[in-house]
A and B are shown apart, each in its own frame.
Chain A
């Protein structure tokens, strides 16, 4: 099928099987590889992107669901030169070890803060627990989210 949607502000149209997940459209068709593959079954969260402003697991969104959708990936959230406040906080806190999960962590955190600018510790734990980090950077993820809250409040 022809799937037409917007990625990071740019209109895209791809000819793919209707059940191809957005993850693989982004990675192997469009070439946006900041969004990662980890499990394929919504258990790890490394493929998290924003779809019409909501954090979704892109391995679970199919081509036929994409028509007209606005997708933001990690590349569209901010850039090395113009970082999103959550990315600034992540960099200042030096969260990453291997870094493979961090695109998903950051997209999830940015979505959470956009909807709830001052989440409680329990809310942070609940929202972020769908995103696995095998290196165990969780203490720094919490710290970075607290810093991002400060930055966005400032």
Chain B
């Protein structure tokens, strides 16, 4: 970790093929395995064959290092290992483990090369391997995000299980003299030909004495016992009985409770404060200044929040326009040559293309993450070590930040990652953790849990970036002939990476993701150009990042042009789509709902939308009815291709949830700024979807994609355009600005 900063400066490669100083040593080091971190403190008689599997005389332990914020990756990681190890999930203990570069995410770089993710050609795949090698050598990032968990884990964790299995068989063979070829494994044991079962735990000591075997072939999916079939998530009982501890539930002897009140003008300073009233309250231990605000330590979280509310503060200004109108005006003025982020796609000639024009402008607002578990972290600073209990998606960066604040070497900063009660991207951020560290360092020897009030969580969210789109669609003879899509946005990657202390070397791909790689391969004229703004509010990755706003802009313009052409919204999308895997997705969603045109008569209509994101094509059809009191969402159909289904139950849950997440925020959520502060403070004014509004969501998963892909984010982007397109089909009203409820009511 010590080298993390210097190496990153040189080699952070995102966007273009900028690989800078990493090239020279990147490739040759790409294959050298990381040391197994379990070996350092492995007790006598225990065996660890790789970073993910430990066997001792008592139990089998899996390390599932990716952060689980509800997407089910804790379970899925364990299932991948268990499949090859021939053990059941109720026979193993599963741990998040401790941060280490051995757990680097090898799939994050797939999105960093300038090839669309539907391109599996030699050049594109070569570039991905190259980028992966460079990052692996220069900056092994342990991170969870970008829907990368399954692409990262699929082979790696099955191999971890297979290597453990074959090594345990080798140990059994040595112990019994039975040739390895005559041994089988089942149910956590090696079976001898006579049926005798030698449990893995009984073989641990012997296995610890031999080198783990290498090059074990993986089983064909046709042989799977667990994967691809409905699973019971390992956390489902605990989550249904209130017994699963999240970070916010962490308990320990002598724990004190804290909260913070930080300048609601993001990044602004604290000029002065008066804590007299707060300090007079019962149960308050201390009130002191931290970066940009104050912290309160008390004997109860509620008491701390009450006291923080009683502190009066004078705040400095923010470094962005104080009023929302100015944010839109800034974006509106950003479609200029000097602000070009990238001409990400330019096929044919959109200016010379024939046909009548559809000209439109679209707006996608700031939106909060607002996970239900408010951000929190417990930190104990001791004499020579620091312990952190929190849930974080970038564990090694988190350790680095806390090490700096506490002055303790990173090697002695221990992050115990916790289950996360939703993130949607907020747990990629560090402010809450840095604040908790600033508090804990003042109270050595005392564990302190810092919890944001919901209001603080809203005020200090880094919301989804604000985006404006301008498009010209053309059509002739009932067909779409051209799409020219221009997108201006506050740069989410510039903002996010600046908080890691780095600068973004290339263009921000999130300003055109979901638009430039929309595989309309049969459309002869396409241009997608993005414009980068950096002077607006600080923003962060919000579930599906650029693909949500850009997919809304691109697909809505496409829908408008199709309607203007008089073509069928589904059939014309299929005609334009030159990508076979995506064609099947569109055909499937049409079959699921018995598509027979968008107009269902009498104030009813259907909208279809498609977005390709994180390598996954997703098509969504929404059916709505116009009632006297507003629009009712009746039913939704979703089809997607993830390449390989690991758990059909969890996948369906993510499809339903991601779709409702996309719909709910498109219907009624935005963050707006006034006097430099977010005007929305709690769920009453940033509500998203409630149960009464939730339509039935039907889902079909396809497996034609050449590689396995993740599904935490891809269901989100098509939801908003599908709803907007449905509202148009039912009412004739085309809404080009999110949230839709600024223009229409919902029931």
Which residues of A pack against B, CB within 8 Å?
Answer: 16-17, 20-21, 23-24, 27-29, 31, 33-41, 43-44, 46, 73-75, 78-80, 83, 87, 90-91, 94-103, 106, 124-126, 128-142
Contact = CB atoms under 8 A, between A and B. Distances in A.
B689 A136 contact: yes
Contacts of B243: 34, 75, 79-80
B653 A140 contact: yes
B242 A35 contact: yes
A27 B71 CA distance: 26
B683 A44 contact: yes
Interface string B655-668: 01111110010000
Interface residues of B, number: 66
Contacts of A21: 302
A113 to B, nearest CB: 15
B240 A95 contact: yes
Contacts of A80: 237-238, 241, 243
Interface stretch (B319-327, B370-378, B703-711): B370-378
B235 interface: yes
Contacts of A35: 242
B300 interface: yes
Going nearest first, the 3 A-B pairs with the smallest beta carbon separation are A34-B242, A98-B70, A100-B421
A94 B233 contact: yes
Given A90-B240, A91-B236, A99-B235, A136 B454 contact: no
Given A28-B257, A44-B372, A136 B237 contact: no
B242 A103 contact: yes
A28 B454 contact: no
B421 A94 contact: no
Nearest to B662: A136
B228 to A, nearest CB: 16
Given A36-B421, A43-B683, A98-B422, 12 more contacts: A27-B301, A34-B241, A36-B372, A78-B241, A83-B241, A96-B239, A100-B373, A134-B371, A134-B424, A136-B656, A136-B661, A138-B656
B119 interface: no
Contacts of B353: none
A37 B248 contact: yes
A29 B370 CA distance: 26
A132 B242 contact: no
Contacts of A27: 249, 301
Contact of A137 (B242, B302, B370, B653): B653
A17 B300 CA distance: 11
A9 B590 CA distance: 54
B649 A94 contact: yes
Nearest to A142: B691
A123 to B, nearest CB: 11
B245 A139 contact: no
B78 to A, nearest CB: 16
Interface string B474-511: 00000000000000000000000000000000000000
Contacts of A43: 682-684, 687
A132 B237 contact: no
Contacts of B249: 27, 33
Interface string B513-545: 000000000000000000000000000000000
Contacts of B657: 97, 135-137
Interface string B634-674: 00000000000000011001101111110010000000000
B58 interface: no
Interface stretch (B105-113, B692-700, B721-729): B692-700
Contacts of A134: 370-372, 422, 424, 661, 688
Nearest to A96: B239
B623 to A, nearest CB: 15
A96 B692 contact: no
Contact of B372 (A40, A101, A130, A142): A101
B656 A99 contact: no
A125 B690 CA distance: 9
7 contacts: A27-B301, A28-B302, A40-B682, A100-B371, A101-B372, A132-B683, A136-B694
Interface in B119-178: none
B453 interface: yes
B420 interface: yes
Contacts of B687: 43, 132
Among A31, A41, A94, A137, chain B packs the most CB atoms within 10 A around the CB of A94
B682 A102 contact: no
A89 B416 CA distance: 32
Given A134-B688, A142-B691, A40 B454 contact: yes
Given A75-B242, A142-B691, A39 B683 contact: yes
Among A75, A78, A133, chain B packs the most CB atoms within 10 A around the CB of A133
Given A100-B373, A132-B372, A134-B422, A17 B303 contact: yes
Contacts of A100: 70, 246, 371-373, 421-422
Contacts of B246: 36, 100
B232 interface: yes
A75 to B, nearest CB: 5
Given A17-B283, A43-B684, A139 B240 contact: no
B242 A98 contact: no
Among B69, B235, B683, chain A packs the most CB atoms within 10 A around the CB of B683
A135 B70 contact: yes
A44 B696 CA distance: 22
B650 to A, nearest CB: 8
Given A136-B661, A137-B656, A140-B656, A17 B282 contact: yes
B649 A41 contact: no
B237 to A, nearest CB: 5
A40 B70 contact: no
A99 to B, nearest CB: 3
Nearest to A46: B372
B39 interface: no
Contacts of A29: 300
Contacts of A132: 372, 683, 687-688, 690
Contacts of B422: 98, 100, 134-135
Given A36-B372, A80-B241, A103-B242, A94 B653 contact: yes
A23 B370 CA distance: 20
Contacts of A133: 372, 691
Contacts of B650: 94
Among A44, A97, A100, A136, chain B packs the most CB atoms within 10 A around the CB of A136
A94 B232 contact: yes
Nearest to B684: A43
B34 to A, nearest CB: 30
Given A24-B301, A98-B373, A131 B71 contact: no
Contacts of A103: 242
A96 B696 contact: no
Contacts of A44: 372, 683
A150 to B, nearest CB: 17
B694 A138 contact: yes
B451 interface: yes
A87 B372 contact: no
B229 interface: no
Among B235, B301, B302, chain A packs the most CB atoms within 10 A around the CB of B302
